[in-house]
Structure formats: C-alpha cells, structure tokens
Amino acid sequence: MKRSSLLIPVFLLAACGAQGDKVVARIGSEKITESYLQKKFLEISPSAQVYLATKPGRRQFLDVLIHERLMLMAARKSRVASDGDYKGRIKQKEAEMQEMMQEYKDFTLTKMWVEDMRGGELKVSDAETAGYYEQHPYTVTLAHILLPSYEEADKVIRKLKAGSDFDRTAKEYSLDTEAVRLPPIMYGEFMPELEDMAFKMRVGEVQGPVKTPLGFHIIKKLAQDKAPRDAALDRVRKILEKKKFDAYLAKFQDKAKVEVLDENYK
C-alpha cells in the first residue's frame, strides 16, 4: 500500500513532463490540463490516491473535475453572477485580501530591512561586546509594583515603609500582579527611568515612586550577581544592537513629523 502511494505522484509528474501541459479534456472553451489534474490529485488523501492510480479511478476522478467545471460554467452564466449580493461579497473579499497583502508586504520589508541592518549599521564588534561587559558585568533581580497615579503610588510606598510585606502589597494593589518578581536583568535591558536606580540600590532596599510611560513604579532590589562572562556576551550583543537601532530610529524620527492628535493618547 505504501509503495503504491509513493508511485502515484511520480507517474503523474512523468506524464506531465513528457507531454508538457497536455490538455486532458475540453468542456466547451474550457480546458482541463495535466498540470491541473496533478494539482487536484495532490489534494486527495493518500488512501484515495491508491484507487486513483488505476484507470477506472483516473476516469472517475476526471469525471468529478468535469462536473465541477460544468457547475462553475453554469454559475458564471446565471443571474447570480450579476447579483448585487454576490458582487458585494467579492468586493469585500478583494478588499480584505488587498489589506492582507499590504500587511504581508510591510512585515516582510521591515523584517528584511532589520536583517540587512544587522550586517551593517547595527553590527556589533567583539571589542564592543567585551568592553560593555567589563563595564556592566552584573545582573539585578527586582520586584515591582505598578500604580496608575502618583497619589496611589505614594499611598502604597507609605504602607511599605510602615512594614507591609512587598509581595502581598503588590498582589493587592499592583496593575501587574502576574509579574511582581522580574527575571534578572543586565544594564540596558530595563526601562531607562528605573535602570540607574536599580543598579545603585542596596539589596533589600525599596525605592519609588518613579514615573515611566507605563505608570508609577515602586521597586525592591532582591539580588545582584555577576553574570558569567560567556553566557552574558550574547545578551550584551543584543543590548548594544538595540541601542544602535534605537539611536538610528531616533535620528530618522527627527526628520519625520510625528504628532499625536488625540488627547486620550498624549
């Protein structure tokens, strides 16, 4: 059974190659070609392909395709083809496909542009990586509480200074209850507004509130450790690449006119 299934596509491809795109059947002005048969054949399940390798099976398969083509030809000549509902559906689908194609083009262009930049403007040398690691060899582990306003953040930090447990307080008040304890970060991987403070704090110290684009943060330093050099170098390379990318984009933004017009997003 397995052997037969493997031979069937080979047989059809050979026929197609030998004859070119041979016309197998005509229905009026319509044609069914060998390449079309091959395409439809590959849509069939492997178990059905075994039967379709036989002459009766091939004839039955062709009859099905002829029947489908007759239905399509009849539909094209029917009143439905000029119906407003049909045309409206097609127009809507064409618009959706155009949008999807534009999104694909934009995504592919951006992805390939970044890949190209990695070999040029964003390229990070071994010397740059080693130098950055020598300057910033540590990781810090933090817990944080995120609040929507300074007033709420100030109320929470007063509770913490009065002895409230940090984790319990975070679970009760923070907007981000799923990520109270953050994974270890190297310098350059964290929010700029909090980074310097996080690395200068003592282990166990609590600081804040500090405003970032996300809200008002209170952070507690849980640990500071030296990152093993070999394991850290790949992270350092990504940090430096991102810094170069952000700098490149910032220069580009200076030339472009960026305006946020809706007050709700300012």
Which helix (H) or strand (E) element contains residue 222?
strand 215-226
Task: Tell me the percentage of the chain whose pLDDT exceeds 90.
Answer: 72
137 Cβ partners below 8 Å, 6+ apart? 226, 227, 229, 232
Average pLDDT over residues 23-48: 88
Are the C-beta atoms of 120 and 248 separated by less than 8 Å? Answer: no
Cβ count near 220 (within 10 Å) = 23
Peptide bond into 184 cis (omega under 30): no
d(CA 253, CA 250): 5
SS3 164: coil
pTM score:
0.68
- Rounded to the nearest integer, the mean pLDDT of the chain is 89
Token pair for 51: 């039967």
Are the C-beta atoms of 234 and 124 separated by less than 8 Å? Answer: no
Q: Burial of 219 by CB count in 10 Å (0-12 exposed, 13-18 middle, 19+ buried)? A: buried
| DSSP annotation string for 92-115 | HHHHHHHHHHHHHHHHHHHHHHHH
**Looking up tokens 């007063």, which residue turns up?**
158
Confidence of residue 53 (pLDDT cuts 50, 70, 90): confident
Confidence of residue 178 (pLDDT cuts 50, 70, 90): confident
| DSSP annotation string for 24-86 | EEEETTEEEEHHHHHHHHTTS-HHHHHHHTSHHHHHHHHHHHHHHHHHHHHHHTSGGGG-HHH
pLDDT, one tens digit per residue, over 198-245 is 999 999 999 989 999 999 999 999 999 999 999 899 999 999 999 999
Least confident of 72-86, 108-122, 168-182, 227-241: 168-182
pLDDT, one tens digit per residue, over 57-106 is 889 999 999 999 999 999 999 999 999 999 999 999 999 999 999 999 99
CATH number of the 138-226 domain: 3.10.50.40
Buried b / exposed e over 230-255, threshold 16 CB at 10 Å, is: eebbebbbebbbeebeeeeeeeeeee
Q: Judge whether residue 12 has pLDDT over 60.
A: no
Residue-level pLDDT at 179: 78
Average pLDDT over residues 255-259: 85
Are the C-beta atoms of 12 and 38 separated by less than 8 Å? Answer: yes
Residue-level pLDDT at 265: 82
Residue-level pLDDT at 256: 86
Residue-level pLDDT at 6: 41
d(CA 43, CA 64): 14
Q: Which residues pair with 226 in a beta bridge?
A: 138
